[in-house]
DNA sequence: GAGTGGTCTAGACCACTGT
DNA sequence: CAGTGGTCTAGACCACTCC
């Protein structure tokens, strides 16, 4: 007998991973059906199902009814990245968080922002610029537009004490969102705010959240030079 | 009666989401225990459990034995990003993929790479530089080091026809990996290869994969200017 | 110690999809 | 139309953790 006890779905997952990593099951191979594995491992089909579904979620297996389960030919692995509240991210690094409101106006957005907010007509929108600091040093610059109709409460919040990032996360639930990552050269404004050189490469996150079919807010987060976002796979 | 039929765990998940979004259940609130919700929805506890676990995975709920389930105070949402094979990513955009090997040598790595490869001693390592193009234009530059011990097969592959990115994904399964995103200014080499200006802000992905305690490969993917990586939340 | 979520089981029916 | 995964159920036991 070779096997250790295989009882939990995590055990099953581990065994399947071993067989893939040892190349006993290669990319493209058809795996035994759930009932067969259940027999082999001496457990319920439900347990096998849980394990395989979990692996399919990470992109390592491809499952289709009737067609069965295969090792993914192109294992497009999926990485989960946590989108933290900036204050949390800074404090978790053991640094002192501080925050400074740069500007807070009610204004007509430029066309590109109006498009990103999916506004039906030209309406005034809350525009907030703020700087987040770690140990007193500029960490990230937040440039945000908030749709008054979608988040009326936001109009009465005092954003000198609390960042819009934090307030929105805690008070504006959303039904969907999108996020984009890119790189940009520091312009005049960014270099002053982040106290870096003009032209420096900056990491940029653009975020947008929706409540049903209405955009709540869109924001650019422009990080100081040398910022890295990382995660495990 | 208000409710539509709630049968599947997805239905339960939707109902829970609705109650959170309508602020009937607010951040920090304790939710009814699984057995209670099962009664209310008229389904098995297992179904409730599946729905809540799924929501806990996305970071919207926090669950602890004995303490119960709460709406996350700081809903640190988790975004899943797919790490695609470059060829796939380009072709999915409807562009023509091509590839050109720049350099392919067996060499002693500099100290920082040696550290990233977690090499016990100073050993020779396969160093590959390659350019991926979309519609004939530079798309991303791949700068990769491959540990011969961890992936001996890679030593005999003809990387003029096939990118290391693709070959490794298909032939070198890994047990863990890490990935980092950042921004960097184009240097002399990057500007020539990617035909952009020196100093341009470039999006950079650094990846590393392991087989057990041995690093298989580490790579820098340096994208052309204006590259954006995006996903939904 | 007691309460809550985590998981397993055996059996059942359903939904999709390849042939 | 038949085979495979997707999901539900009811009941059970276990593991963790708060009090």
Q: Could you read off the pLDDT of B156-213 as tens digits, one per residue?
A: 999 998 999 889 988 888 988 999 999 999 999 999 999 999 999 999 999 999 998 8
pLDDT at B2: 41
Strand, coil or helix: A161: coil
User: A75 vs B169: CB contact, 8 Å cut-off?
Assistant: yes
pLDDT at A5: 63
Look up residue B76 and give its two tokens. 């640190």
Is the CB of residue A12 less than 8 Å from the CB of residue A38? Answer: no
Positions in chain A short of pLDDT 70 = 1-6
Q: Global pTM?
A: 0.91
User: A185 vs B203: CB contact, 8 Å cut-off?
Assistant: no
**Residue B70 approaches strand D within 7 Å at CB:** no
Q: Max alpha carbon distance in chain A (Å)?
A: 73
In this prediction, residues B100-119 reach a mean pLDDT of: 93
pLDDT at A51: 96
The Cα angle at residue B117 between residues B116 and B123, in degrees rounded to 5: 130
Residue pLDDT, tens place only, A47-80: 999 999 999 999 999 999 999 999 998 877 788 8
Does residue B4 surpass a pLDDT of 60? Answer: no
Please tell me the distance from the alpha carbon of residue B12 to that of residue B61, in angstroms, as a whole number.
Answer: 14
Query: Under 8 Å CB-to-CB from A221, ≥6 apart: which residues?
Result: A86, A140, A141, A142, A143, A165, A204, A205, A206, A207
Q: What is the 3-state secondary structure (H, E, C) of B27-83?
A: CCCECCCHHHHHHHHCCCHHHHHHHHHHHHHCCCEEEECCCEEEECCCCCCEEEEEC
Helix, strand, coil percent values for chain B (each to nearest 5): 30, 35, 35
Is the CB of residue A83 less than 8 Å from the CB of residue B233? Answer: yes
Tell which strand D nucleotides have any atom below 7 Å from a protein Cβ: 2-12, 15-18
Of residues B144, B176, B166, B62, the one with CA closest to residue A58? B176
pLDDT at B5: 62
Q: HSE on the CB side for A214, CA within 13 Å?
A: 11
pLDDT at B1: 39
Q: DSSP label at A30?
A: B
**Residue B70 approaches strand C within 7 Å at CB:** no
Does residue B6 surpass a pLDDT of 80? Answer: no
Closest CB from A74, A79, A227 relative to B169: A74
pLDDT at B100: 95
Query: Under 8 Å CB-to-CB from A8, ≥6 apart: which residues?
Result: A47
Closest CB from B73, B179, B184 relative to A233: B179
Please tell me the distance from the alpha carbon of residue A89 to that of residue B230, in angstroms, as a whole number.
Answer: 21
Does residue B134 surpass a pLDDT of 90? Answer: yes
**Residue A176 approaches strand D within 7 Å at CB:** no
Is the CB of residue B47 less than 8 Å from the CB of residue B35? Answer: no
Residue pLDDT, tens place only, B18-61: 999 998 999 999 999 999 999 999 999 999 999 999 999 999 99
């Amino acid at each position: 007998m070779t096997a250790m006890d295989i009882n939990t779905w995590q055990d099953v997952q581990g065994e399947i991973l071993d067989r893939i990593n040892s190349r006993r099951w290669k990319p493209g191979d058809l795996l035994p059906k759930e009932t067969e594995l259940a027999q082999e491992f001496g457990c319920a089909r439900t347990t096998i199902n849980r394990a395989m579904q979990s692996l399919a979620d990470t992109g390592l297996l491809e499952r289709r009814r009737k067609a069965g389960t295969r090792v993914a030919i192109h294992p497009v692995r999926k990485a989960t990245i946590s989108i933290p509240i900036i204050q949390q991210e800074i404090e978790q690094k053991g640094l002192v968080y501080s925050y400074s409101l740069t500007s807070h106006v009610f204004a007509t957005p430029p066309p590109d922002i109006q498009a990103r907010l999916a506004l039906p007509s030209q309406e005034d929108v809350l525009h907030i610029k703020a700087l987040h600091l770690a140990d007193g040093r500029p960490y990230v610059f937040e440039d945000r537009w908030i749709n008054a109709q979608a988040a009326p409460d936001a109009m009465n919040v005092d954003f000198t004490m609390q960042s819009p990032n934090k307030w929105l996360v805690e008070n504006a639930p959303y039904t969907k969102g999108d996020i984009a990552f890119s790189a940009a050269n520091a312009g005049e404004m960014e270099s002053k705010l982040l106290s870096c050189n003009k032209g420096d490469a900056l990491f940029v996150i653009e975020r947008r959240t929706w409540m049903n079919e209405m955009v709540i807010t869109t924001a650019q987060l422009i990080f100081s030079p040398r910022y890295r976002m990382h995660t495990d796979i």
